[in-house]
């Protein structure tokens, strides 16, 4: 039955150096699987005058109950038998059993006075953890409670069996002393433990969580293997053998994280328990199933120290994304491995690269053009101009979920309807336009050069001015954008772009456009998204240039091409560019008429393109190194890694446009992609797309 202990072992935690008191019926010091795991100097017998810390075997040659319990905690990792949860911890046997029991069916019983002496012995010898696999139907009285209080003040934590009386016993509650976990005087220092089987279902014999639900865990307690002597083992059932598994888990935590107190270790196990039964804390499973693997993960936010003295908080929720142009450069580097402390101040190794999710695709041609409803009002204006007002919104089609498509590309956008409005004044010699969009609506200002860089700003508002002088058209446009995750407040003015372009209409068959501009992104470079104030934002400035052209080659054949470049600087809280990032994108396409093919074919388009990709650049970060010893002071070193991804995405596309008999059009496109998202190991991808358009 998997409690996740292997995760702790792989992290180097074995329980070494942790003493665990076992208040029980004594331990066989010669038991093969416990060789070297029992403290003969500290183990004791609290029964006055007996002085026999080794227990007597049970019926049928079964080892003493305390031996079986101890095997769950500390059986050696020795190639035979079983493995204890904390297989290098040390057992301190505190024998407290008697044979003069009131119930004739009991071979072993415990008197309150003896348990008090056992607890005081654990206090006197500074034992951090005590396991008590025993119980009964009544409370143990004021003197026992006083001993528990002394132990709690001394920092001892207890794992206590819930009992084997089943669901109906004691009103569905744990037996005593496990039920003391409910008492405010002891809450946080006691875990009462039930038993589940290999299917993670609470055993029929196990007492339920009941009133102690807030301090109740379940651990493996059915068909448990222990008491191995090298040739054979015992298979046993009972909450007596669930409780020591939790005691071993506490020892693993104290071994791995020596800054923890026992109460903090208890809280971690309860907090990280695996959900079982009804959602949340319930009267059957309490907090859930013991999950050591989860207990060895950071709890709450993890604070990563910076060389500047500041900290960056890493949460389990991933809300940061690197720009598509970087591909796998972030995820591929070991340069962002450092250390941090969780909410319990536990030291963990942290890979800051994992805080950045995989970016959406940067190729605008892949973005779905959602169906829109549009309305335009046009009025005559002075000096022979026209004034127009255009509003549009995405069509809400339940069979074609635009929110799902958009969120797949820009997961920080919410699911509200995309809407925009544009006011434009135009004359024969130029135009001025102002556009406002919301909820991720796409700017209409696409000039043919530099569009890829302008689109990275994902603007919500933009303006454009254009002037025509003969064959030349001069254009200036700029925009700014906000960002908003679902259920989070919007980050305003986090990106801006400005661009100047010149288009030359050399002839009806030749156009050439040059553009240059700047891009300011406060969250991160080249389309990255990292919330402001998170510590992961990378404020950046880019300058870009682009050129595009369309040329008629005769016989209905057209060549179009586009190329862009950018240089980017950034300086974030922990990450900066020690060498500017240079990025590029390009596209080359051919379009031809195809009426001779029939099927209403109007045009065929072939293209090869590379989406925006970082070609050179180097990141730098000063991060803490993992200390040799847990409490060693942290030292910092500079880490450098390439901003260039491992692959180069190349898209080969073939498209066709068909006119249908009813006057509508069918647009078909197939794309084959190599090194998808600039990842060299990515498998080739094939995309098939179709779009039907009509007018009314």
What single string gives the DSSP state of each residue in 433-445?
Answer: EEEEEETTPPP--
Comparing 57 with 86, which gets the higher pLDDT? Answer: 86
- CA 25, distance to chain mean position in Å, is 46
Condensed to tens digits (0 to 9), the pLDDT of residues 484-528 reads 765 566 788 999 999 999 999 988 889 999 999 999 999 999 989
Residues 118 and 48: their CA atoms lie apart, in Å, by 12
Task: Work out the average pLDDT over 244-258.
Answer: 98
Task: Work out the average pLDDT over 17-39.
Answer: 95
Residues 630 and 646: their CA atoms lie apart, in Å, by 36
> Tell me, what's the pLDDT at 409?
45
Long-range own/partner contacts, residues 314-319 (CB < 8 A, 24 or more apart)? 314/340, 314/350, 314/352, 314/355, 318/355, 318/356, 318/357, 319/412, 319/485, 319/529, 319/530, 319/531, 319/534
> Tell me, what's the pLDDT at 663?
79
Task: Work out the average pLDDT over 33-41.
Answer: 95
**Per-residue b or e along 58-90, where b marks 16 or more CB atoms closer than 10 Å to that residue's CB:** beeeebbbbbbbbbbbbbbeeeebbbbbbbbbb
Residue linked to tokens 């969250």: 523
- Residue 658 pairs with which residues in a beta bridge? 601, 666
688 pLDDT more than 80: yes
Given pLDDT bands bounded at 50, 70 and 90, which one contains residue 695? low
> Tell me, what's the pLDDT at 403?
37
Specify the range with the lowest mean pLDDT, choosing from 149-153, 393-397, 539-543: 393-397
Condensed to tens digits (0 to 9), the pLDDT of residues 294-335 reads 999 999 989 999 988 888 888 655 568 888 999 999 888 888
Across the chain, mean pLDDT equals 89
State the pairing for strand pair 157-161/190-196: parallel
Condensed to tens digits (0 to 9), the pLDDT of residues 353-367 reads 887 876 655 444 444
- CA 14, distance to chain mean position in Å, is 27
Report residue 408 as tokens: 């797949």
Specify the range with the lowest mean pLDDT, choosing from 316-330, 340-354, 578-592: 316-330
> Tell me, what's the pLDDT at 113?
96
The CA distances from residue 686 to 324, 587, 673, 680, in Å, are: 19, 18, 6, 16
The CA distances from residue 246 to 25, 210, 218, 265, 474, in Å, are: 19, 19, 9, 11, 74
Read off φ and ψ for residue 212, nearest 5 degrees: -100, 20
Task: Work out the average pLDDT over 48-64.
Answer: 85
Q: For the whole model, what pTM was predicted?
A: 0.79
Q: Which residues contact 41 (CB under 8 A, 6 or more apart)?
A: none
> Tell me, what's the pLDDT at 185?
95
Condensed to tens digits (0 to 9), the pLDDT of residues 608-664 reads 999 999 999 999 999 999 999 999 999 999 999 999 999 999 999 999 999 888 878
Task: Work out the average pLDDT over 10-31.
Answer: 96
> How close are the terminal C-alpha atoms of the chain, in Å?
66
Domain over 5-295 is classified CATH 3.40.50.200: yes
171 pLDDT more than 80: no
535 pLDDT more than 90: no
Ramachandran assignment for 287, one of left (phi > 0), alpha (psi -120 to 50 degrees), beta (any other): alpha
> Tell me, what's the pLDDT at 366?
42
Comparing 391 with 267, which gets the higher pLDDT? Answer: 267
368 pLDDT more than 50: no
> Tell me, what's the pLDDT at 357?
76
Given a contact cutoff of 8 angstroms between Cβ atoms, the answer to whether 180 and 162 are in contact is no
Comparing 479 with 309, which gets the higher pLDDT? Answer: 479
Condensed to tens digits (0 to 9), the pLDDT of residues 117-145 reads 999 999 999 999 999 999 999 999 999 99
- CA 662, distance to chain mean position in Å, is 51
> Tell me, what's the pLDDT at 690?
84
Condensed to tens digits (0 to 9), the pLDDT of residues 399-458 reads 344 333 344 445 555 445 678 899 999 998 899 999 998 777 788 898 989 999 999 998
Comparing 58 with 344, which gets the higher pLDDT? Answer: 344
Query: So where are the chain's domains?
Result: 5-295
156 pLDDT more than 70: yes
């Amino acid at each position: 039955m998997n409690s996740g202990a292997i995760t702790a072992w792989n992290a180097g935690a074995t329980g070494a150096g942790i003493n665990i008191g076992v208040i029980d019926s004594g331990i066989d010091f010669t038991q093969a699987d416990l060789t070297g795991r029992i403290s003969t100097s500290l183990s004791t017998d609290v029964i006055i005058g007996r002085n026999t810390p080794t227990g007597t075997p049970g019926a049928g040659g079964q080892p003493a109950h305390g031996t079986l319990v101890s095997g769950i905690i500390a059986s050696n990792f020795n190639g035979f038998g079983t493995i204890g949860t904390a297989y290098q911890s040390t057992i301190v046997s505190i024998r407290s059993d008697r044979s003069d029991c009131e119930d004739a069916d009991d071979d072993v019983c415990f008197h309150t006075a003896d348990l008090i002496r056992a607890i005081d012995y654990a206090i006197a010898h500074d034992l951090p953890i005590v396991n008590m696999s025993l119980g009964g139907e009544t409370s143990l009285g004021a003197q026992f409670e006083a001993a528990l209080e002394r132990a709690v003040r001394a920092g001892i934590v207890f794992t206590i069996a819930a009992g084997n009386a089943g669901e109906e016993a004691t009103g569905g509650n744990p037996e005593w002393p496990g039920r003391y976990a409910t008492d405010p005087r002891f809450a946080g220092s006691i875990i009462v433990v039930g038993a589940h089987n290999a299917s993670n279902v609470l055993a029929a014999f196990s007492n339920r969580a009941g009133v102690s639900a807030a301090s109740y865990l379940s651990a493996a307690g059915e068909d448990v293997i222990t008491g191995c002597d090298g040739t054979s083992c015992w298979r046993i059932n009972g909450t007596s053998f669930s409780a020591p598994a939790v005691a071993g888990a506490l020892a693993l935590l104290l071994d791995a994280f020596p800054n923890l107190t026992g109460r903090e270790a208890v809280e971690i196990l309860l907090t990280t328990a695996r959900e079982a039964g009804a959602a949340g804390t319930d009267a059957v499973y309490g907090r859930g199933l013991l999950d050591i693997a989860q207990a060895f993960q950071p709890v709450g936010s993890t604070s990563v120290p910076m060389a500047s003295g500041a900290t960056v908080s890493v949460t389990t929720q991933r809300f940061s994304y690197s720009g598509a142009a970087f591909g796998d450069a972030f995820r591929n580097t070991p340069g962002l491995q450092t250390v941090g402390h969780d909410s319990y101040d536990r030291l963990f190794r942290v890979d800051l690269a994992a805080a950045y999710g995989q970016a959406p695709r940067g190729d605008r041609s892949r973005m779905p053009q959602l169906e829109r409803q549009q309305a335009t009002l046009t009025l005559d204006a002075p000096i022979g101009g026209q004034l127009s007002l255009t509003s549009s919104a995405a069509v809400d089609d339940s069979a074609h979920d635009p929110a799902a498509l958009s969120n797949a590309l820009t997961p920080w956008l919410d699911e509200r309807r995309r809407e925009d409005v544009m006011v434009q004044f135009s004359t024969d010699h130029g135009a001025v336009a102002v556009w406002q969009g919301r909820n991720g609506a796409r700017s209409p200002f696409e000039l043919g050069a530099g569009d890829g860089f302008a689109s990275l700003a994902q603007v919500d508002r933009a303006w454009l001015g254009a002037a025509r002088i003969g064959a030349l058209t001069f254009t200036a446009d700029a925009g700014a954008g906000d960002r908003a995750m679902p259920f989070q407040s919007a980050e305003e003015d986090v990106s801006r772009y400005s661009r100047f372009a010149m288009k030359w209409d050399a002839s009806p068959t030749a156009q050439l456009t040059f553009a240059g501009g700047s891009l300011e992104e406060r969250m991160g470079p080249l389309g990255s998204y990292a919330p402001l104030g998170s510590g992961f934002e990378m404020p950046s400035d880019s300058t870009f240039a682009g050129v595009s052209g369309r040329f008629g080659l005769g016989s209905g054949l057209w060549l179009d091409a586009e190329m862009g470049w950018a240089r980017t600087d950034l300086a974030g809280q922990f990450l900066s560019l020690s060498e500017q990032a240079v990025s590029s994108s390009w596209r080359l396409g051919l379009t031809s008429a195809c009426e001779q093919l029939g099927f209403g074919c109007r045009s065929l388009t072939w293209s090869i393109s590379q989406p925006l990709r970082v070609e050179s650049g180097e990141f730098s970060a000063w991060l803490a190194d993992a200390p040799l010893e847990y409490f060693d002071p942290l030292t910092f070193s500079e880490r450098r890694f390439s901003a260039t991804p491992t692959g180069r995405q190349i898209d080969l596309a073939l498209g066709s446009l068909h006119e249908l008999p009813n006057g509508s059009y069918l647009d078909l496109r197939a794309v084959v992609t190599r090194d998808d998202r600039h990842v060299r190991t990515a498998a080739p991808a094939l995309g098939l797309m179709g779009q039907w358009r009509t007018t009314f």
